[in-house]
């Protein structure tokens, strides 16, 4: 996710607790969705879609924080 911002992500994870928290939440959701899609965890398509929406919101917030950091 957002590999082009690797350095910025590393800095923000180390120095911004909120960023680190939402970044971890995003990664956890990503893994949960993958597990559901592979049948490792049971879920309906509707549940998976809702989790994907939540993950996208977190990604948007992460991206916004990265851009704000870069432009500061």
**CB-CB contact of 26 with 20 (8 Å):** no
A 10 A CB-CB count for 41 gives: 14
Tokens 């049948």 — which residue? 39
Examine the pLDDT at 1 and tell me if it is beyond 80.
no
Angle of helix 45-70 relative to helix 6-15, nearest 10 degrees, comes to: 90
Q: What is the value of pTM for the model shown?
A: 0.90
How many CA atoms lie within 13 Å of 18's alpha carbon, on the beta-carbon side? Answer: 6
Cα separation, 1 vs 19, in Å, equals 14
In the chain, what are the domain boundaries? 3-70
For the segment 29-68, what is each residue's pLDDT rounded down to a tens digit? 999 999 999 999 999 999 999 999 999 999 999 999 999 9
């Amino acid at each position: 996710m957002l590999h082009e911002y690797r350095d910025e992500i590393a800095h923000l994870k180390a120095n911004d607790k909120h960023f680190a928290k939402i970044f971890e939440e995003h990664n956890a959701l990503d893994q949960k969705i993958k597990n559901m899609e592979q049948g490792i965890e049971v879920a309906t398509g509707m549940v998976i879609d809702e989790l994907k929406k939540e993950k996208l919101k977190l990604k948007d917030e992460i991206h916004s924080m990265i851009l704000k950091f870069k432009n500061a």
